[in-house]
Each structure stands twice: as structure tokens, then as C-alpha cells.
Amino acid sequence: MRKILGAVLIAAVLTGGSGLVSVDMSASAEPASEADSAGTSGGSGAAAVDSPEEQPVSMIGKTDFSEALDSGEERVEAFEDCFTDSDIPKPETFFSLTAQGIVDSWAETGEASYAFSSPADGEAEEGMVSENSQVDAAACIEKTNEYLTGRGYGREACFLDPENGGTDIIWYKGSCQVKITMLAPDNFIFTALTGAAYIYEPEMLLGKWEGYAERQGENYIMTLDFKEDGQVEYMAGWVQSEAAFLSTGTYIVDTGRLHLSFPYDQVSGQQVNWKCTYRFEALNDNLRMEYISGDSLNIFQEAGAIFNYSRPADADSGESAPADSAEFVLTEEDKKILREHLRVPETAVVEFQIGEEYFWEAAEAEVVPISIYENGVYVAGADISKETKELMTSILTYQN
């Protein structure tokens, strides 16, 4: 009973935490008094921001900046005054405003920053043209969004900048990134960045990763298994217990960002339509995942938070691998016992697939992933002990 109730609980929690900070995009001219919480693609959103200094600046306009956009095709011409070898517009001419502060090292480091703010009452600065003195940050953000998304840039959902308390929006394409930090309705910072294009080699990400977390005395495991065909399998549950969530979806890599989509939860049998975006860095045996937007994969991450996955230690790596490295075989008796443990009906016509074995450090055991398919659909499975063939982790009982 605990496992059944627990599975319902963790599935409900997992589908709820998108961690997004939203902004008021209504037609009213009055700024919102507090941030609404809103998610995307079925996520219910993050907790409301309480303290005034932590509230995002309200942005009123036609675009919902709480929702991330994927990169699109170019449909507008490049602005006439852009940073060298890019289509990022020079903000002073683009906005017809005079910058209050400029730090431009584009030619040397590929970075430039321009600050814009309206002068205080009675403090118009010398040499400033009056028509270029008043700043409407929301209008500048809308103009930037229309131009950059029209040039094929993707956009991240807005989020609070932990360094200055402003509201950040980031657009990206290739090796270029544009960020606007809105500090007040008439005060914002425009930053342009470029660098060597992110080098992504498929083998950096392919294969199985696992992460562990502890919350309120419960130990959780989450796994990601990336395939060459663009599919990815995600599982979340308890260590040495049944899966609470399992789905096979798709992934796309774009400029160091990982876009994930999971349509269906095989445990509950429900459509979930999760979509999320992470910054990621895969180095050696560590996968660093920084949550940006969408439906968070787990309850332990809010926007900007980092969660680390690691490779299950391979038997060939020399890390506590057992001496017996004989080929793993499932006998008919083994399959019968597995069917019983995973509640696969005797009448079901199924196929067993054996995955790549690995050393599970948490249990100090060599384990082998077993997947059971019925009519080409994954219906049950578990990672089992190579030595005893007992169920160990990533357990999914029959789901058809």
C-alpha cells in the first residue's frame, strides 16, 4: 500500500513543479502587485514570490515571456547596425536611445553591455537629446523579441536574476546570446555575448545516467537514458523500489541546451505532455543539468538550480567490478520468475531484452537492465542483480 500511495504522490509532485517565474502580460497599464505562478505544457508552476525585492518587474505587452520558445527560421532582415560578424543589433541605434553606461569589448572577448535608464526628474544629462531620454523597458523588450525571434533565435522563459534582482530574458542562436535584465519599468541592461560554437559530440550524452536525492527521509533515484535515434527514457522513483514515473520521449540539443519532451507516463497510464529545457554539460562521467523552464523533471529543482547525474560505473572501468565477467544469460526459468515478480500475465506474449550491465555503487552490485516488450511496447522491466537475478532498481510492474 505504501508503494502505491507513494507512487501516486511522487507522480503528482513531479508533474507540479515547473519552477517558472511569470510576469503580468495583461492589457492593464498598472504593474502587477505580485508575480503569478504559471507553468507550461501542463506544469502547475512555482511558488509565489513573497518579498518585494524578489518579485520580478512586471512586463506588460503582447508576448508571454513566461513561456520558452524553440529556435525558429529567419523571417526578418538583419538590422543595419550590428555587432561584427553577428546579427545582434547595436542597442543605441536599435532602440533610438542613448546608453548611460557602455562596456564594449566585443572585438576582444565577444562581450558587450549597454545600460539604459530614464534620467531622474530635473537631472537630464548634458548632451542628451530629449527625445532619447525616456526609457520604456517593456517596449524595448518587445522590439528585441520580435527582431531576434524573427532572426531564428530561441527564447528562454524569464526568470529572476539572483545577482541584481532584475528580470532576465535570454535569446540564443548558434554561439550568440542576447540578454536583457529589466531592473525597473524605465531601467534595463542589454548584454550581447558570443564565443566558439558549443561543441556537442553525441557520445557525450548517449547512454544511461542516474541521479540520487534525499527528501524527508526518502531516498529517490532518477535515470535518463539517451538513444542515438533522438529518444530518451526517463524514470523516477525510490531506491530499490518500483518506478513512480516512466516515460519514453524525445530530446533535441541546441547550443548547450537540452530540450526534452515526454508525452506519456507508463506507470499511471496518463498523458502528461511534459516539455522542459535545461542547460547541460556532459564531462567524463558527470552530467550537469541546470533547469531553465518548462515542467521540471524532479521536485528538487527550481529555475536556475543544478542537479547532477552520473554514469553507472562500468565493469570495464576497474571501479569495484566483480571478478566474474561471464556473459549474462536469462534462462527460461529466470524469465518465468521475472514474469511473476513483475506481474506479467502468463497469457501475455512478450519479448525480453537485456541491456548493458553496470556496477551500481549504491548497492555495491553488478546489475543488468531487463526490459519486457509486448507488441513492441515496453510494459515491464527492472535492473536486476547479475549474480542472483533478484530485482534491484528501476522496477516497473506490468502496465498493459
pLDDT tens readout for residues 16-46: 333 223 333 333 323 333 333 323 233 322 2
Residues 70 and 175 in one domain: yes
Residues 112 and 253 in one domain: no
Most confident segment among 60-74, 91-105, 278-292, 299-313: 91-105
Among all chains, which residue has been given the C-alpha cell 541584481? 164
| Pairing of the two strands 111-117 and 101-104 | antiparallel
- Domain-located, residue 322: no
State how far the Cα of 192 lies from the Cα of 49, in Å rounded to an integer.
28
| Pairing of the two strands 207-215 and 218-226 | antiparallel
Residue (of 173, 154, 169, 182) closest to 55 by Cα position: 182
Asked if 39 and 20 touch (Cβ cutoff 8 Å), the reply is yes
State how far the Cα of 155 lies from the Cα of 211, in Å rounded to an integer.
28
State how far the Cα of 165 lies from the Cα of 102, in Å rounded to an integer.
20
Residue (of 312, 273, 275) closest to 291 by Cα position: 275
- Domain-located, residue 235: yes
Among all chains, which residue has been given the C-alpha cell 541546451? 257
Residues 27 and 101 in one domain: yes
- Domain-located, residue 356: yes
Look at 115-129, 168-182, 254-268 and tell me which has the smallest mean pLDDT: 115-129
- Summarize the confidence of residues 208-230 as an average pLDDT: 85
- The range of the structural domain enclosing residue 247 comes to 199-312
> Rg of the chain over CA atoms, in angstroms?
25
Which residue, of 251, 277, 312, is where some domain finishes? 312
- Summarize the confidence of residues 314-342 as an average pLDDT: 65
Residues 383 and 300 in one domain: no
Amino acid identity, position 399: Q
392 Cα distance to chain centroid? 28
Residues 41 and 184 in one domain: yes
Residues 264 and 342 in one domain: no
Helix (H) or strand (E) holding 328: none
Residues 261 and 374 in one domain: no
State how far the Cα of 245 lies from the Cα of 284, in Å rounded to an integer.
27
Among all chains, which residue has been given the C-alpha cell 502496465? 399
What pLDDT band is residue 313 in, cutting at 50, 70 and 90? low
pLDDT for residue 361 is more than 90: no
Residues 40 and 167 in one domain: yes
Count structural domains, the chain: 3
Residue range 119-166, pLDDT digits in tens: 876 555 454 444 567 899 999 999 999 999 999 999 988 888 767 788
Which residue, of 178, 193, 208, is where some domain finishes? 193
Residues 129 and 23 in one domain: yes
3-class DSSP state for residue 138? Answer: helix
Which residue, of 161, 193, 225, is where some domain finishes? 193
In angstroms, what CA-CA distances link 38 with 17, 161, 203, 376? Answer: 10, 18, 35, 37
11 Cα distance to chain centroid? 18
- The mean pLDDT of the chain is 75
What pLDDT is recorded for position 359? Answer: 84
DSSP state letter for 315: G
What pLDDT is recorded for position 76? Answer: 94
Residues 287 and 338 in one domain: no
Residues 106 and 41 in one domain: yes
Asked if 97 and 174 touch (Cβ cutoff 8 Å), the reply is no
